[in-house]
Structure 1
Amino acid sequence: MNEKVLETLEYDKIKQQLAAYLTTDRGHEIVNQLQPSSEFDQVKDRLDQTADGADIIRLKGEIPIPKLIEIAPYMKRLRIENAALSGTELSHITKLLRAGQVVHQFFEDFKAEAVDLRSIPKIVDQLTLMPEITQQMISSIDDDGRILDTASSQLSSIRKTIVRTQNDIRAKMGKFIKGSEAKYLSEPIITVRDERFVLPIRADYKQHFGGIIHDQSASGQTLYVEPSNVVEMNNQLRRDQLAQRAEERRILAELTNLIRPYRSELLENMNLIGQLDFVNAKAKYAHQTRSVLPNISDRNVIKLRQARHPLIPREKVVANDIEIGDQYHTIIVTGPNTGGKTITIKTVGLLQLMGQSGLFITANEDSQIGVFDDVFADIGDDQSIEANLSTFSSHMDNIISILGRLSHNSLVLLDELGAGTDPKEGAALAMAIIDAIHKTGCELIATTHYPELKAFAYDRPGIINASMEFDVDTLRPTYRFLLGIPGQSNALNIAHKLGLSQAIIEQARAFTDTKNQDINNMIEELTAQTKRAHDEADELKVQLEASTKLQRELTDKFNKYQSQKERLVEQAKEQANQVVEEAKKKADQIIDDLHKKQAEIGKVAVKENELIDAKGALNKLEVAPSLKRNKVLRKEKAKHNFHAGDDVLVKSYGQQGTLLRQEKNGVWDVQLGILKMQINESDLEKSGSDKPEKSRYQTQVSRTRSTGMSPTLDLRGHRYEEAMYELDRYIDSALLAGYPSVTIIHGKGTGALRKGVNEYLKRNSRVKSFGYSAPNAGGDGSTVAKFK
């Protein structure tokens, strides 16, 4: 790709914006060297990488890549035998090693997402992981390049000794600060000179202190003295510090030798991480600019949907649809200056360069780019003072160069073709140049203000007119691209709007060539028709968006209704069940009231069968037709549909029994264990097959209560295992006996038995609650357990 077009279309500004999203030096190097590719497969692979990055941004935020310094200079030094890297340099390599592991793990976790990445896995698979070396580096060097205590046991020991010696020195010198000697000090502090601890002594008291003078203040009023009683301690501290430095040098050399054999792997990892950083940056830049993945045409057909210039703020730029390469290969954009022609062709060129660089483009979905072997542009004022060339000459020199290098697979952008010379000759020259370029079969977009080119484009196959819309009412350009309509001259209309005399306007029209007037009238009519079409399209777009929004809302509401329908039915059933239950309770209450009245009045006997009939009538109350098959109603009726041999629950006794035969007046003979009793049907309830455990439990109650077992268990004097066994047997018996609560005496002692009892009661699901007895009943020497 020629360098001039990159400069003309401001390609470097895109790279500068992209660089703001990078975190590695290698990523910056990749962006600095970035150029559009003319290879179809390479462009596709670049765009696939960006698409992968966009998917990752959408699902996970971004690839976790830290700030990484370039390590190539360090690897170059490692070629020198015995050369050792510094702690800072090793920390940069450690960050790279850690980044490789983090990135690899990130993509292992990403496999759980329901997204198949296109290209990035091929990069990640090339990473060389060195877990043992990475771990040793992490445990030896921190992020700032400081050698850690964990780098070696010898270093850790030396550093502990240094800290201990420093503390001892400070403690001994602290006596001078706090004691009677403090009056001789300039300041009550301990400081360091020549890596030795000293005190700031007032110069006039230097004879009072023994020791070594290491320095003095600028005024000479303060001497920095090392007291004699800490000289040897400072000497020892100095020896330890020298030993520390020697050990640190040894560690740095050891770590350097550890990574020396992996120079090529580390450089390749740096390159791969840089590529992933570049992918991250492309995806984040696309997200920020709301760019999209373009389709790629193998026939160089460009179809841009609502394309926007990426360097103009989104709130200011005007988007346009632009197509070239299918039905026509040349577009001639005519019309006056300041209408947006230059920005339009720059947008096409810059988006094409971005797409061929693997960047998403600022357009709408389903936009399409080509893959050109080169893009040529002659845009702007290229007047060259150094070469003594005029604007026209400079443009011609550039166009001659383009004509000598273009092919059928090129994209050419020419702005104000033929300008800067005589209008007649300039128009003729422009038509000849367009004809020559068009014959090569490449794609060409040219702008001009010469009216002669309107008819030229109309007469040539494969060439189409276009223009930029101008609002005569507001006297402002709309920057809307109108394909198929040539630009018209608005000079007379504008003059009229500004208030120029009508007579002068008419005189000017009379001087205007009749053919030009007819062309302008035709263009004006076409422009008006196109504007109406655009306005109607915009209105339909608004209506479509409103209809789409309404349809989406209706769909959401219908889906919610479908999802909630079953739940609403269940809620209705539950409410119906509650109504039935309340009706049944009222029926039972009515019967109980009748019993009470019979007992109180005694004059009018209410027969038992009348009570049963009354209850049956109440139970048959229909709350609503929809409740005839209600589960609660059917379950309740089934409970009172008795037959001989049925297992039943005698509610007043809470006992399980078996029906033998039905007597008169709704009385049944019931076998309760070894007893046979006559029970009123209203006191019976059929036992379901789903309550076998309750039936067995209730059958045992009457037999167990007669055993006379105590509600208190005394475990004092038992061994722990024996006590726990006794407790388990006792709780089972108490439950079978139907006791609501029991008391376990465990004593105080060591507390082991008490703890064991509490742990057992916590685990037993039949225990509702437990706690220590009242203070006057044993306190924490016994525990009361209540059952469910």
Structure 2
Amino acid sequence: MNKRIFHVLEYNKIIERLNSQASSSLGKEKTIAIKPSTNLAEVVKWQEETDEAANVLRLKGNVPLGGIFDIKPSIKRTIIGGILNANECLDIASTIYGGKQIKSFIEGMDEPELPILRGLVEQIVPLNELERQIKSCIDDNGHVMDGASDKLRSIRTKIRTNESRVRDKLDSYTRTKTKMLSDAIVTIRNDRYVLPVKQEYRGAIGGIVHDQSSSGATLFIEPQAVVDLNNQLQEARVQEKNEIERILKELSMKIAEDQSYLYQNVEALGTVDFMFARAKLGQSMRASMPKMNDKGIIKMKQARHPLITDDEVVPNDVELGESFTSIVITGPNTGGKTVTLKMVGLCTLMAQSGLQIPALDGCEMAVFSNVYADIGDEQSIEQSLSTFSSHMTNIVNILDNVDHETLVLFDELGAGTDPQEGAALAMAILDDVVSRGARIIATTHYPELKAYGYNRDGVINASVEFDVQTLKPTYRLLIGVPGRSNAFEISRRLGLNEFIIETAKSHIGTDSKSVENMIASLEESRRGAESDYEQAEVILEQAQQLKQEIEQQWDQFEQKREELYKKAEEKAERAVEKAREEAELIVTELRNMKNEASLKEHEWIEARKLLDEAQPKLTKNKPGKTNRNDENKEIQPGDEVKLLTLDQKGTVIEKISNKEYQVQVGIMKVKVKRKDLQFVKREEPLIEKPMAMVKGSTYHVKTELDLRGERFEDALHRLEKYVDDAILAGYPSVSIIHGKGTGALRKGVQEFAKKHRHIKDFRAGSMNEGGSGVTVLEFK
């Protein structure tokens, strides 16, 4: 990219705003160096980085990026043996802590997926030991603490003692020799404690003169009595300085040892800050991530110029590169043509820099090898060039470099010279650039170019709307409609005589009138289309609302139907249960009356099982909810099916073909087509398990029954049936698992065992059997 385009499109202002969003000098350094890339893969990667950071900001609002510094110069100094000062060491500790904060923040997020950010924070090494050592020696104000070493603590204790002794000695002078002093205070000169003595009492005090006032009336004297004490104090301060230097040297050496990790942390933190700076800029512009391509396609919905405030900017839809490769915008001055031109160019540079653009979601931008622009009055006084010459010099340079991978922006193409010659030049220039396959947006005043798009493939006219009623531009871009001259309408609105207006119209050529009439017709068609669109929007909204109401009513109907089916099933189940209870009473009475010689116990058990199996099964498929895929279900010999034509059930004997089967219905065998069969059920093959054989019958019964969680009545019913099956299977004993709980279920099981004639004894389970939560039944 040429640097001139950055100035013309005000790209540098975007960089300034981006720079203000960075949280650290590391991020600011990267924002200043940002440049548009011409590599599609690189641009896509940048956009994905920005989008990840934007998702984090959307979910969390902010990120902990404080306390991070550019410590690279400090690290470099430690490597070559330099000694860092306390503040530089403190910046390194702060940066280590800041890295741990952002690492913990990103790794603690569950949503959304953050592969790029997680990969970056994985590179951050938490140097806890180095941070602890620095923080244990230096406080938050950059002061080396007494606890940094035992020697430093001892030296500072000595300093405080000496200072106290010097002050006490000098305070005695301020109390006893007040008349000799200019002020009764103790002050410091050349790092030594002194007294402000009047000039005339210089000999009375005696000692070393360190300074005097500007008037010479006051001398700052160190009395002889405190010279030795001050010497001791100075010596202690030198020792303190040496010890601090030793401590900082030791810390600097430890920093140098971890220099590779520190550089790695700094690079990762700078990239993370740079990503969030781009995301924050996009958030402030209400921007979205563009889909990038290398086909020269631009699609922006409700795009806004990034540097115009929201209360002033007018959003516009812009498309370029698919149906047409060039747009020629015509219309009056101050209508917004140049703003549109700059918006497209600036958004292109932003997108190629990994920045989101101020448009609705779903926008698409192209990666160009170069963006050229000829915008504004670039008259050069030094070169003594006219406006036209200046523009033409720039255009010549553009034509020397343009190709199919470039975006070219022409503002007022051909302006500044004779209108006829300028219009002819403009069309010739456009023809040349279009033939090279470049993407072009051009603005012009020339009426000759209004029909240009109708005579060229890949070129379309556009204009900026002007409201004749208010005499103001609306700044709306109208693709497909050339700009219309509003001079007569404006003049009429301002009160110009109608006769003069009509006379002016008579001077216009037939071609110009035809063009103006065509434009007027297009505008009328556009307004009609917009009105129809608005009506269609209203009808669509009403239809959607009606659809929602119908769906809601249908759901209510389905719910009501389900409730009715459920009530019917419950009623049927109660009737079946009542019949079962009555049958049980009859069976019980018959058992009491049975002849032991004629009826065996297992026959009664089998009779009860037949009773259970006779209980009707209520269907779960409601009318209207048949399985539409039943016809596709594979039917095999042995399957139970329903003949839809006869409304009878039968069993499949043989598969004749994919569409025909032989079915046994009662004593008849019939051939039936697949579409006339409905699958009912399939007998599952028995899985071989260890089993007990009793009198020729096979029973699969476990040696334990789990009643936990059952209602009391249901549990006893299951227990009774299970005991019958276990007796039939010939088990000597079984375990009943009832849990501990309240003990009600255990008591019920034991009461049942006492009354059952075939239970010899019962006991609580042993420790390895489940303890009191299990009752073991032993049969006779």
Same fold by TM-score greater than 0.5: yes
1:308·1:347 contact (CA, 8 Å) conserved in 2? Answer: yes
Structure-2 change in CA distance of 1:385 and 1:72 (3 Å): same
Q: Is the 8 A contact 1:49 1:118 kept in 2?
A: no
Q: Deviations over 1:146-174 (max 9, x none)?
A: 32323222112212221233233333433
Do the aligned residues in 1 keep the contact of 2:452 with 2:461 (CA within 8 Å)?
no
- Structure-2 change in CA distance of 1:495 and 1:174 (3 Å): same
Q: Distance in 1 between matches of 2:743 and 2:198?
A: 98
Q: Secondary structure at the match of 2:485?
A: coil
Structure 1 residue 310, shift from structure 2 partner = 0.9
Aligned to 1:255: 251
1:161 and 2:158 matched: yes
Worse-matched range after superposition: 156-165 or 524-533: 524-533
Per the alignment, residue 90 of structure 1 pairs with: 89
| Aligned partner letter, 1:122 | G
Cα offset, 1:331, TM superposition: 1.0
**Deviation at residue 546 of structure 1 after TM alignment:** 12
2:197 corresponds to 1:189: no
- In the other structure, the counterpart of 2:50 is 50
Deviates more, 1:445-454 or 1:209-218: 209-218
Q: Which moved more, 1:328-337 or 1:101-110?
A: 101-110
Q: How much has 1:230 moved relative to structure 2?
A: 3.3
Contact 1:62 1:280 in 2 (8 A): no
Distance 2:316 2:425 in 1: 29
Does the 8 Å CA contact 1:91/1:141 hold for their aligned counterparts? yes
Q: CA deviation at 1:104?
A: 2.0
TM-superposed deviation, 1:324: 0.8
Query: Does structure 2 conserve the Cα–Cα contact (< 8 Å) formed by 1:45 and 1:119?
Result: no
Alignment CA distance shift 1:306-1:427 (3 Å): same
Residue 333 of structure 1 pairs with residue 329 of structure 2: yes
The answer to whether the 8 Å contact 1:165/1:237 transfers is: yes
CA distance in 1, matches of 2:137, 2:351: 45
Q: Secondary structure at the match of 2:108?
A: helix
The structure-2 alpha-carbon separation of the partners of 1:118 and 1:226, relative to structure 1 and needing over 3 Å to count, comes to: same
Please report how far the alpha carbon of residue 256 of structure 1 lies from its aligned counterpart in structure 2 after TM superposition: 1.9
Shift of 1:343: 0.5
Please state whether the residue corresponding to 1:119 is helix, strand or coil.
helix
Q: In structure 2, how many angstroms separate the alpha carbons of the residues matched to 1:210 and 1:157?
A: 33
Does the 8 Å CA contact 1:304/1:368 hold for their aligned counterparts?
yes
> Are 1:410 and 2:406 matched, yes or no?
yes
Q: Could you tell me how far apart the structure 2 residues matched to 1:7 and 1:527 are?
A: 36
Alpha-carbon contact 1:53-1:62 (below 8 Å) kept: no
For residue 420 of structure 1, what is the aligned residue in structure 2? 416
- The answer to whether 1:520 aligns with 2:516 is yes
Which residue of structure 2 aligns with residue 36 of structure 1? Answer: 36
**CA deviations over 1:492-543 (Å, ceiling 9, x no partner):** 2222222222111111111111121122122123223324544675788799
Distance 1:143-1:398 versus aligned 2 partners, 3 A rule: farther
Show the counterpart of 1:74: 74
Aligned equivalents of 1:536 and 1:426: distance in 2? Answer: 40
Provide the aligned length of Structure 1 versus Structure 2: 557
Secondary structure of 1:20's aligned partner = helix
Output the CA distance in 1 between the equivalents of 2:165 and 2:203: 25
Q: Would you say 1:482 and 2:478 are equivalent positions? A: yes
Q: Could you tell me which amino acid in structure 2 is paired with residue 441 of structure 1?
A: G
**Contact map agreement 2:411 2:444 (CA 8 A) in 1:** yes
Give 1:472 shift: 1.1
TM-score, normalization by structure 1: 0.66
The answer as to whether partners of 2:75 and 2:255 remain within 8 angstroms in 1 is no
Q: Which residue of 2 aligns with 1:643?
A: none
| Secondary structure of 1:411's aligned partner | strand
The alpha-carbon deviation at position 405 of structure 1 amounts to 1.6
CA contact (8 A) 2:107 2:118 kept: no
Answer yes or no: is the 8 Å Cα contact 1:95–1:143 preserved in 2.
Answer: no
Q: Distance in 2 between matches of 1:532 and 1:238?
A: 94
C-alpha deviation, 1:233, in angstroms:
2.6
Structure 2 residue 143 is the aligned partner of structure 1 residue 146: yes
**Could you tell me which amino acid in structure 1 is paired with residue 324 of structure 2?**
Y
Give per-residue Cα distances to partners, 1:608-664, cap 9 Å, x unaligned.
xxxxxxxxxxxxxxxxxxxxxxxxxxxxxxxxxxxxxxxxxxxxxxxxxxxxxxxxx
CA RMSD of aligned residues (A): 3.2
Cα separation, 2, equivalents of 1:541 and 1:190: 87
Q: Which residue is 1:443 aligned to?
A: 439
Task: Decide whether the 8 Å contact of 1:173 with 1:190 is kept in 2.
Answer: yes
> Could you tell me how far 1:55 is from its partner in structure 2?
1.9
Deviation at 1:418, TM superposition (A): 1.5
Residue aligning to 2:397: 401
| CA distance in structure 2 between the partners assigned to 1:93 and 1:690 by the alignment | 65
- CA distance in 2 between partners of 1:19 and 1:540 (Å): 46
Q: Which amino acid aligns with 2:237?
A: Q
How far apart in 1 are the matches of 2:542 and 2:408? 41
User: Contact between 2:67 and 2:95, CA under 8 Å: does it hold in 1?
Assistant: no
The answer (yes or no) to whether the contact 2:124–2:265 under 8 Å persists in 1 is: yes
Match for 1:54: what amino acid?
A: A
1:232 equivalenced with 2:228 (yes/no): yes
Distance across 2 between alignment mates of 1:540 and 1:121: 47
Q: Distance in 2 between matches of 1:44 and 1:257?
A: 42
Structure 2 residue corresponding to 1:173, chosen from 157, 170, 173: 170
Match of 1:506 in 2: 502
Q: Take 1:538 and 1:161, find their aligned partners in 2: how far apart are those partners?
A: 88
1:368: which partner in 2? 364
Q: Is the 8 A contact 2:68 2:99 kept in 1?
A: no
Once the 2 structures are TM-superposed, how far is the Cα of residue 207 of structure 1 from its aligned partner? 4.2
Three-state SS of the structure 2 residue aligned to 1:530 is helix
1:120 to 102, 117, 131: 117
What does residue 700 of structure 2 align with? Answer: none
Deviations along 1:747-775, whole A, 9 cap, x unmatched?
xxxxxxxxxxxxxxxxxxxxxxxxxxxxx
Question: Secondary structure at 1:331's aligned position in 2?
Answer: strand
For 1:385, what is the secondary structure of its paired residue? coil
AA of the residue aligned to 1:136 = Q
**Alpha-carbon distance in structure 2 between the residues aligned to 1:138 and 1:513:** 86
Task: Give the counterpart letter for 1:108 in structure 2.
Answer: E
From the superposition, tell whether residues 193 and 323 of structure 1 become closer, same or farther in structure 2 (CA, over 3 Å): same
**1:11-39 superposed Cα distances (whole Å, 9 cap, x missing partner):** 00101111112232232221222111111
Distance (Å, rounded) in 1 between the aligned partners of 2:227 and 2:358:
74
- Contact 2:297 / 2:322 at 8 angstroms: preserved in 1? yes
Residue 356 (structure 1) shift: 1.0
User: Which residue number corresponds to residue 99 of structure 2?
Assistant: 100
* Alpha-carbon separation, structure 1, partners of 2:525 and 2:293: 32
Normalised TM-score (structure 2): 0.66
- What does residue 675 of structure 1 align with? none
Deviation per residue, 1:700-750 (Å, 9 max, x gap): xxxxxxxxxxxxxxxxxxxxxxxxxxxxxxxxxxxxxxxxxxxxxxxxxxx
- Stretch of structure 1 that moved more, 278-287 or 532-541: 532-541
Structure 2 counterpart of 1:39, one-letter code: N
Return the offset for 1:354. Answer: 0.7
Q: Which runs of 5+ in 2 are unaligned?
A: 553-740, 745-780
Contact 2:292 2:364 (8 Å CA) reproduced: yes
Q: Do the aligned partners of residues 265 and 474 (structure 1) sit closer, same or farther apart at CA in structure 2, a change above 3 Å counting?
A: same
Contact 1:489 1:520 in 2 (8 A): yes
For residue 599 of structure 1, what is the aligned residue in structure 2?
none
Cα 1:59/1:550, change in 2 over 3 Å: farther
Aligned pairs for 1:207-356 (under 5 A) are 207-356=203-352
Note if contact 1:155-1:247 (Cα within 8 Å) is conserved in structure 2: yes
Matched residues in 2 for 1:546 and 1:62: separation?
A: 41
Q: Which amino acid aligns with 2:7?
A: E
Tell me: CA distance 1:532–1:158, structure 2 relative to 1, closer, same or farther (3 Å). farther
Q: Distance in 1 between matches of 2:356 and 2:478?
A: 25
Distance in 2 (CA, whole Å) between partners of 1:140 and 1:549 is 70
> 2:61 maps to what in 1?
61
My pick for the range that moved more, 206-215 or 19-28, is 206-215
Residues 106 and 117, structure 2, Cα contact 8 Å, conserved in 1: no
The match for 2:463 is 467
Does the CA-based 8 Å contact 2:40-2:293 persist in structure 1?
no
- Structure 2: how far apart are the matches of 1:241 and 1:49? 53
